Amino acid sequence: MSAKVRNAIIVLIFGNFLVCIGMSLIFPVMPFIKNELHLSATDMGIMNSLFAFAQLIASPIVGQISDRIGRKPVLVWGLGLYMVSEILFAATNWLWMFDVSRTIGGLSAAMVVPTTNALAADLTTPRQRARVIGLLSAAFSGGLILGPGIGGFLAKIDYKTPFWSAAVLGLLSMISLQLMLPSEKEIEAIAKDNVMPPISKGPSKATWVQTKRLFSGPMKILFLLILISSFGLVGFESIYSLYVNEVFGFTIGNIALVLTLNGLLSLMFQALLFDRLVTWLSEKRLTRYCFFLAAAGTIWIILAHSKLEVIIATLIVFTSYDLIRPAITTLLTKASATGQGLINGVNMSLTSVGNIVGPIMSGALLDLNYHIPYVIVAGFLAASWLMTYLVKDHFKVNI
């Protein structure tokens, strides 16, 4: 790998990390925005959902545009929109402007995240590609996991500080991409050198029959678990700061501490212990135990009487969620030797539905009663735990 390509990959990883931090910076400051501006929990839920909705709608369109005009312009403009989104959020106190900001942020994420993966594939050889894509995925997960903790600590200065800081980082990242990425002609030349020989895959159309076969076979349980887990995680996380602030009197420092501890713990489990846990337990059993622990932790939070109990239970719930997703995804990839594009597409679509619906439903329920959302989340998680007993130990699907 040449020095130019290596520098380009480093900038891409940083850009991916930055945008994913922007997705989650809002979580620790939500109660303070809500209280200062007299907003409802439903308002906050819609604000969060708009990000995921814009990302879902824009992603396929942006992919076609990047194929047509090139990766670099899409990335640079995407980070420019990221900066605009953060400035708008920091500069305004109007709900409709918050909504516009989050929508622009979702569009930015749609422009940056998939395009970085596509450009990384263009710039690397087949042998290098898996490692680089893995680093980009780690940056994506790391941004989502560490963003709330970083936002919480910066918000100790002022609750708008995280967004001003993110805007500055967005500007620096945009300039770095413009200066350090190869030109479009150079990218095209590198991509031609790195192209893999065509592999005969047979018919490749993702037909309605194929999709129907997925949902009528043994995979349907896994897809349902994916939907529930994404809804549960976002539903739990999107109102977490509101809940602990109102019910247990958590300060922004308390929230930052919890989310930072969770980020470090989750990264440790995902990076160092996940493979060992799968080898020891299998993906199916790991998923089952994590759903059980997540349900138990949610119930513990509802019944807790001290901040320490809430912190311990929170770490259990978040860590369980961070293990459920890769465990189910691994099960899906092992279930079929073909049709991985269709399987992963369905996986991402179901996750997006959870990301859109979860915050709105949890926010609306929180306006009715502070405990109702977590009671419902615990119920879904308990049902998911029972559903894992329906998953077959070994199955193959022909798509």
In the chain, DSSP finds a helix count (H) and a strand count (E) of 16, 0
Task: Classify domain 216-390 by CATH architecture.
Answer: Up-down Bundle (1.20)
Per-residue pLDDT, averaged over 65-75, amounts to 81
- 3-194 belongs to which CATH class? mainly alpha
| Inter-residue contact 107 to 50 (CB < 8 Å) | no
Q: Could you tell me how many residues make up the chain?
A: 399
DSSP code per residue over 298-367: HHHHHH--SHHHHHHHHHHHHHHHHHHHHHHHHHHHHH-SS-HHHHHHHHHHHHHHHHHHHHHHHHHHHH
Instruction: Answer whether residue 128 shows pLDDT above 80.
Output: no
Band (pLDDT 50/70/90 cuts) for residue 395 is: low
Cα atoms in the Cβ-side hemisphere of radius 13 Å centred on 185? 0
Note the pLDDT tens digit of each residue in 211-263: 555 555 567 777 788 787 777 777 888 788 889 988 999 887 788 788 778 87
**From-to residues of CATH 1.20.1250.20 in the chain:** 3-194, 216-390
Per-residue HEC secondary structure of 37-63 comes to HCCCHHHHHHHHHHHHHHHHHHHHHHH
Q: Across the chain, what does the average pLDDT equal?
A: 79
pLDDT at res. 338: 52
Between CA 59 and CA 109 the distance in angstroms is: 8
Share of the chain above pLDDT 90, in %: 13
pLDDT at res. 195: 53
- Between 2 and 244, where is the model more confident? 244
| Inter-residue contact 280 to 366 (CB < 8 Å) | no
Across 247-271, b (16+ Cβ under 10 Å) vs e yields: ebebebebbbbbbbebbebbbebbe
Between CA 89 and CA 105 the distance in angstroms is: 10
> Which among 347, 122, 133, 362 has a CA at the least distance from the CA of 220?
347
Tokens of 169: 């980082």
| Inter-residue contact 97 to 88 (CB < 8 Å) | yes
Crossing angle of helices 41-69 and 30-37, rounded to 10°: 120
> Which among 367, 384, 206 has a CA at the least distance from the CA of 293?
384
For residue 92, with 0-12 CB atoms within 10 Å meaning exposed, 13-18 middle and 19 or more buried, which class applies?
middle
**C-alpha separations of 322 from 2, 20, 317, 397 in Å:** 35, 16, 9, 26
- Between 116 and 309, where is the model more confident? 309
Segment among 19-23, 103-107, 231-235, 335-339 with least mean pLDDT: 335-339
Angle at 397 between CA 396 and CA 399, to 5 degrees: 150
Instruction: Answer whether residue 31 shows pLDDT above 60.
Output: yes
| Inter-residue contact 384 to 328 (CB < 8 Å) | no
| Inter-residue contact 226 to 350 (CB < 8 Å) | yes
CB-based contacts of 43: which residues, under 8 Å, 6+ apart? 34, 95, 363
List % helix, strand, coil for the chain (3-state, nearest 5). 85, 0, 15
pLDDT at res. 36: 84
Distance of CA 211 to the CA centre of its chain: 24
Between CA 197 and CA 123 the distance in angstroms is: 16
> Between the ranges 13-17, 44-48, 185-189, where is the mean pLDDT highest?
44-48
Across 114-135, b (16+ Cβ under 10 Å) vs e yields: bbbbbbbbbbbeeebbeebeeb
Between CA 127 and CA 76 the distance in angstroms is: 27
Per-residue pLDDT, averaged over 158-179, amounts to 85
- Between 342 and 190, where is the model more confident? 190
Instruction: Answer whether residue 143 shows pLDDT above 80.
Output: no
Distance of CA 382 to the CA centre of its chain: 23
Segment among 160-174, 182-196, 344-358 with least mean pLDDT: 182-196
| Inter-residue contact 42 to 105 (CB < 8 Å) | no
Tokens of 11: 């900038």
